[in-house]
Chain A
Amino acid sequence: MESGSDNSLMLKVRSGDVDKLGLLFERHKAALFGYFYRSTGSAEISEDLVQNVFLRILKYRAQFSGNGSFATWMYHIAHNVCADHFKKHGTGRNVANLPGAPPQDCETPEGRLLKDERLRVAEEALSQLSTDQREILVLSRYQGLKCRQIAEILGCSVGAARVRVFRAITSLKQVYAELER
């Protein structure tokens, strides 16, 4: 195991060198924030949830075995944190607070309008999916996780994870079709 890998850092955290958690935080904070942001649509809530994940990592550090990857273990915790949040505050996703894409110098006003519309539809489509489907797309597309890892995070078989990802993409396509009709 490489000395600077996620797993070796987490094993050091487990054995008492908690300062190493800072390195893991720096590596994963943006991706984790993105995971929560795409699920909740709120930057403020997402920052709180990221904090919550690292608090749980610290609390349950003894449970990290080092056999699986740190990222999978971390997203498993993130999945539970997200589920707890939705259980407490409902599953609604905040679309109104989402930012538009930054304008580029060469863009024409028409091009800008088209881009904004495309973004709005993408946002709306993501919001119209169920919490489970949204999460599975976030994990597979944005976090770049393989079905094997998704299966570990969600606690299902690899086959079931593949079927769920495929169904989520099919649902997304249907929502796009309805929104653009």
Chain B
Amino acid sequence: MNDSDVKEILLEYIGGDLSSDREKELQTLLTEHGYTLEELDELREAYARLDDVPVPAPSAAMTENFYRMLEEHKRQATARQRRLDSLLAWLRNRCDRRLIARVAGALVLLGAGWSLGFWSAPDAHYDRRLDDVTAEIREMKGMMAYAMLGQSSPTQRIRTINQIRTCGSVDEGMVAILLNMLGDDPNVNVRLVALETLAMQADRATVRQGLVHSLGRQESPLVQMALTDVLLSLDERASISQFRGLLERPDLNDAVRARIASGLERLM
């Protein structure tokens, strides 16, 4: 016999509901579980004394309030029903059945579309987490590239610049380093890749200014030509004086001279 069964018999005795055929079970239980009949009688008396506590009758106001609440509820329900009936009557008078069927059909389609969209839409929380992880990876790639720009091998430096380009988050510090590379790097290819990367950031004023200032420092015709093309494509009028300075240099490559001359005409 588990605890619940034991309590069942004890409560039947305490509550005065124990049938005569269950009395034997109680006797066995008292012996087995160490209860005494005196203890149970004390509990029985304590339980029965609860009946001593009187309860007053509720006031008539409680009943009045209840029926008032019921009437108010019925009045509101009737008003709601009347509004619904008048709406339906208005619809019946104004619209023919085909129109109602079309509106109902449109509503069903709208509901179905909404449900479909709701269930098939990607999890926004998942997308946000994915964006966060992607941004962190990009940032780490950028930081690694930052540290590798001082490499001695031109190939390594070009690879690093490409990494900066793909990381997608080029900050002002990186722009400054790229501008330095464009101006000072001994390798032409490195300077060309730096120029290409900077051209992608040309919406920044610092980049455009840096490109203009760099023009006068370039000796390589390849870099001069590429830089001229970038500045002309940006319609950068601030570069006019730099172009004129270049044209005065006697050692300027003929192809570069021709490109600058035609570009100057367009800019002016």
A interface residue numbers (CB < 8 A to B): 18-19, 21-22, 25, 29-30, 33-34, 37-38, 43, 46-47, 50-51, 54-55, 58, 98-102, 118-119, 122-123, 125-126, 137, 140-142, 147, 158-159, 162-163, 165-166, 169-170, 172-173, 176
Interface of B is mostly: helix
Contact B73 A58 (CB under 8 A): yes
**Would you call B186 an interface residue if the criterion is a C-beta within 8 Å of the partner chain's C-beta atoms?**
no
Tell me, yes or no, whether B203 is within 8 Å of chain A by CB. no
Of B46-54, B112-120, B259-267, which binds chain A? Answer: B46-54
Which of B47, B56, B61 is the one whose CB lies under 8 Å from A169? Answer: B47
Contact between chains at A166 and B7 (CB < 8 Å) = yes
B66 contacts A25, C-beta separation under 8 Å: yes
Q: Which of B46, B50, B70 contacts A18 (CB 8 A)?
A: B70
- Do A55 and B69 have beta carbons less than 8 Å apart? yes
B42 at the interface (CB under 8 A from A): yes
Q: Assess the A99–B54 pair: CB atoms within 8 A.
A: yes
What is the distance, in angstroms, from A178's C-beta to the closest C-beta of chain B? 12
Q: How far is the CB of B26 from chain A (nearest CB, A)?
A: 14
Is B58 touching A126 in the complex (CB atoms < 8 A)? Answer: no
> Which residues on B sit within 8 Å (CB–CB) of A172?
46-47, 50
Collect the chain B residues with CB atoms within 8 Å of residue A170's CB: 43
Closest 6 CB pairs of A and B: A159-B4, A173-B46, A162-B7, A47-B62, A33-B58, A122-B52
| B77 contacts partner chain A, Cβ-Cβ < 8 Å | yes
Q: Is the interface of A mostly helix, strand, loop or mixed?
A: helix
Nearest A residue (CB) for B2: A159
How many chain B residues touch A (CB < 8 A): the figure is 35
Contacts of A55 in B (CB 8 A): 69
Contacts of A147 in B (CB 8 A): 8, 11
**Do A50 and B58 have beta carbons less than 8 Å apart?**
yes
A163 lies within 8 A of B4 (CB):
yes
- Chain B residues within 8 Å of A100, by CB: 54
- With A159-B3, A163-B4 as known contacts, state yes or no: A30 contacts B57, CB within 8 Å: yes
- Contact partner of B53 among A30, A38, A58, CB < 8 A? A38
Q: Tell me the minimal C-beta distance from A54 to chain B in angstroms.
A: 6
Which B residue sits closest to A123, measured CB to CB? B53
CA distance A176 to B49 in the complex (A): 10
Residues on A with beta carbons closer than 8 Å to the beta carbon of B42 = 173
A21 partner residues in chain B, CB cutoff 8 A: 70
Give 27 pairs: A residue, B residue, CB < 8 Å, sorted on A: A29-B58, A29-B62, A30-B57, A30-B58, A34-B55, A47-B59, A50-B58, A50-B66, A51-B69, A98-B54, A101-B52, A118-B52, A119-B53, A126-B50, A126-B53, A141-B15, A141-B50, A147-B11, A159-B3, A159-B7, A163-B7, A166-B10, A169-B43, A170-B43, A172-B47, A173-B46, A176-B49
